[in-house]
Amino acid sequence: MNYRHSFHAGNSADVVKHSLLIALVRALQLKPGALTLIDTHAGCGLYDLGGDEAQRTGEATQGVLRAFADPSPLLDDYRAAVAAVNTGDEPRLYPGSPQILAQLLRPQDCLILNEKHPEDAYTLRGVMRDTRAAVHERDAYELWLAMVPPRTARGVVVVDPPYEQTDERARITATLAAAHRKWAHGVTAIWYPLKDRATHGQWKERLRKLGIPKFLVVEHWLYDSDQPGIYNGAGLFFVNPPYAFTQELPPMLKALRAALAPDGHEGQILSDWLGL
């Protein structure tokens, strides 16, 4: 599955991903110690919802626009992050993870971004020029291993590839195993699209065999059964999520599903510990 950010900016997967990413970082920031935030597949950093690529799919109407119309205060932090890059009441621009992470930085924190595609990396540098972010143009999996453990005592690695390559899941699995050996207490968030339950179940089984003790799975299945040939939802793996984050998760997931559920479909959003 090819999942380039620009075609899907602001869709339901982005709403879930960025809502949970904000909650994760804020839970870690309950302690004053410095954090290093690392984004291995940073993309362009900012997306035009009125642009050709976003308009071609129109997915923002079922994502960020629904979130902005929803009254739940549990989505306030997410809406504020999107509003920060816009001037009107309705979002015209959508912040990628780099922009959202930059908004969360405290003075003691640092942000490391990576984007391999030269054109996207060039755009990313322009978008992030007024922030304290360091931008790299390297292979994502090489950078992931090179940057852990970070110089600060704590940190988060965000892995959000476009899944263009057939071996993407295999590279994630191998790199996660190696990174965990180097940095067993490190926090990692891995985003993935959901196409069908059987294929995804096979990947989860391979990840379960890594034997990582604290491995949380969050999945948003848009429909009650697989819809052949289309995007069926998205999920996140969290390695070593902090307790404060996991405690806040159930009501937030309920609020996200209420805002994003496609009309006329059951579907579900759920969380569970891998291997339990």
* pLDDT tens, position by position, 164-215: 899 999 999 999 999 999 999 999 999 999 988 888 999 999 999 999 999 9
Q: Give the DSSP per-residue string, 131-193.
A: SS-EEE-S-HHHHHHHH-S-SSSEEEEEE-----STTHHHHHHHHHHHHHHH-TT-EEEEEEE
What pLDDT, in 10s, does the model give residues 18-72? 999 999 999 999 999 999 999 999 999 999 998 888 787 778 998 999 999 999 9
Residue 12 exposure: Cα atoms within 13 Å on the Cβ side = 25
pLDDT at 1: 43
According to CATH, the superfamily of the domain at 5-273 is Vaccinia Virus protein VP39 (3.40.50.150)
Select from 217, 221, 223 the least CA-distant residue to 238: 217
Q: What is the pTM of this model?
A: 0.94
- C-alpha separations of 184 from 41, 93, 180, 181 in Å: 22, 37, 5, 6
**8 band by pLDDT with thresholds 50, 70 and 90:** confident
Which active-site residues does the annotation give?
Answer: 160
Percent helix, strand and coil across the chain, each to the nearest 5: 45, 20, 40
DSSP character for 52?
H
